[in-house]
Amino acid sequence: ELQLLESGGGLVQPGGSLRLSCRTSGFTFTRYAVSWVRQAPGKGLEWVSGMSGSGGATYYADSVKGRFTISRDSPKNTLYLQMNSLRGEDTAIYYCAKIRGPTIVPLFDYWGQGTLVTVSS
Amino acid sequence: DIQMTQSPSTLSASVGDRVTITCRASQSISPWLAWYQQRPGTAPKLLIYKASTLEDEVPSRFSGSGSGTEFTLTISSLQPDDFATYYCQQYDSFSSTFGQGTKVEVK
């Protein structure tokens, strides 16, 4: 069964850092791109960052560029999101989502359950 | 960035109703448009991609149409499970954007 399981969320002060993890199973991790998508409380969806299946390409939304870094550990089938210089507007549920098909096109067919990040003093 | 605008923001309907949601893009994205359903407290679920292609195991009462900058999601006969929020998404570029959502609520 294909699964994505996020962890690492929590309460952090403005300016602080947090690292999210997305442990995957049930598909060939190095063949499919995976992205992070977030949802502020009561708001819509915002694509945040993505990494190609090969790991050779990374992409970021303008709102997080220079503050967030996406990476992965292929033997562990795990994707990470290192979040630095956090702001109140980064407060959201962070989902990892698998891209449909062996492309980089951000169409998401499987999602994790999400992990909540709260940035507050 | 490509802006996506959905209408209406909220839609009140009854079981059995035909429901239509519209999504407009700020520039042509054809056919790279998807629709997702999100029930409260759960992750989004892919319903339709490439504007009109139904994802596997999605009921046939859901359909999508449109091209260029204007797209619609139609539910032919609303079922109890369909009360949820629906999002359109353009994936014409890797900097993907979503609409603000349409909540389908009980009338």
Cβ(B27)–Cβ(B69) below 8 Å: yes
Determine if residue A11 is left, alpha or beta; phi over 0 gives left, psi from -120 to 50 gives alpha, anything else beta. Answer: beta
Tokens of B29: 């994205």
pLDDT at A61: 94
Q: Which residue has the tokens 């190609």?
A: A52
Residues of A with CB under 8 A from a CB of B: 44-47, 50, 59, 61-62, 95, 97, 100, 104-109, 111-114
Nearest to A45 among B45, B55, B98 (CB): B98
pLDDT at A105: 85
Distance from C-alpha of B55 to C-alpha of B59, rounded to nearest angstrom: 9
Average of pLDDT values for A1-14?
97
Chain B residues with CB-CB distance to A113 below 8 A: 42-43
Residues of B with CB under 8 A from a CB of A: 1, 32, 34, 36, 42-46, 49, 55, 87, 89, 91, 94-101
**Could you tell me the end-to-end alpha-carbon distance of chain B, in angstroms, rounded to an integer?**
35
pLDDT at A55: 87
CB-hemisphere CA count at 13 Å for A115? 19
List pLDDT tens digits, range A35-55.
Answer: 999 999 999 999 999 998 888
Average of pLDDT values for B26-43?
95
Distance from C-alpha of B22 to C-alpha of A102, rounded to nearest angstrom: 29
List pLDDT tens digits, range B13-28.
Answer: 999 999 999 999 999 9
